A = this chain, B = another copy of it.
Amino acid sequence: MSEQMMTEAAVSLLVERGIAGTTLAGIGERSGYSRGLVTHRFGSKAGLLAHVHDSIAAEWLRRVQAVVGRATGVAALQRVTDALYKFIVDEPKGLRAMYLLRYASIDPSAEYRANVAKLNKAHVRALTRWVEEGQAHGEIAAEVDAGLAAELFASVVDGLLYRWLVNPDIPVKELHGLMRAHIARALRAAQA
């Protein structure tokens, strides 16, 4: 179906030329259709971008769920970082497109912004729950503020991806290892 084709064309164009450099006509034509079909289907450029973002985000969610499984506490957070590392290696283009869109949504003119804010909050909720479960099992120190730790964890992930987008040569693998170590140490220890 044309939606799928156009979404794929959009991803490749986004990675090649960025958001501003990606035109609706370009997407239509690269996917073998006319210049007008994208608008017709997705209503607007923002609508298309939201669709692209959400479809990759769904794939990311699937991966995280598969890797984390029923784990909780430190193991759950570590596995999230594992999934992240794997995603970087397996599908750099998709991840790049998703974060390109996600960072662009900071822009107040992006209607899409509220969606991303909601998504971020959902992520933090899930992370918070894992931390709390770790505390319930006695694995994670009780003094840890679960919500705060979750927010910081999410920040590290987002920040790392931003830096990777700007400079793909950063030592992603080593940073992944360092994160894993930090998670364990920070959560098991006491906290201010």
State the oligomeric state as a number of copies: 2
Contact with A19, one of B109, B148, B170 (Cβ below 8 angstroms): B109
Main secondary structure of the interface of A (DSSP, over half): helix
Contact with A192, one of B17, B145, B178 (Cβ below 8 angstroms): B178
Contact pattern, A 107-127, Cβ under 8 Å of B = 1, otherwise 0: 111100100110011000000
Beyond A20-B109, A107-B19, A192-B181, whether A156 also contacts B162 by CB under 8 A is no
Contact pattern, A 140-164, Cβ under 8 Å of B = 1, otherwise 0: 0000010011011011111110110
Inter-chain CA distance A13–B181, complex, in Å, is 43
Contact across chains for A106 and B162 when beta carbons are under 8 A apart: yes
Inter-chain CA distance A149–B179, complex, in Å, is 10
Inter-chain CA distance A155–B162, complex, in Å, is 8
Q: List 16 A-B contacts (CB under 8 A).
A: A16-B108, A17-B108, A18-B109, A21-B107, A116-B166, A120-B163, A120-B166, A120-B167, A148-B171, A148-B174, A154-B159, A155-B160, A155-B162, A181-B191, A185-B185, A186-B186
Binding site for B on A (CB under 8 A): 15-21, 99-100, 103-110, 113, 116-117, 120-121, 145, 148-149, 151-152, 154-160, 162-163, 165-167, 170-171, 174-175, 177-182, 185-186, 189, 191-192
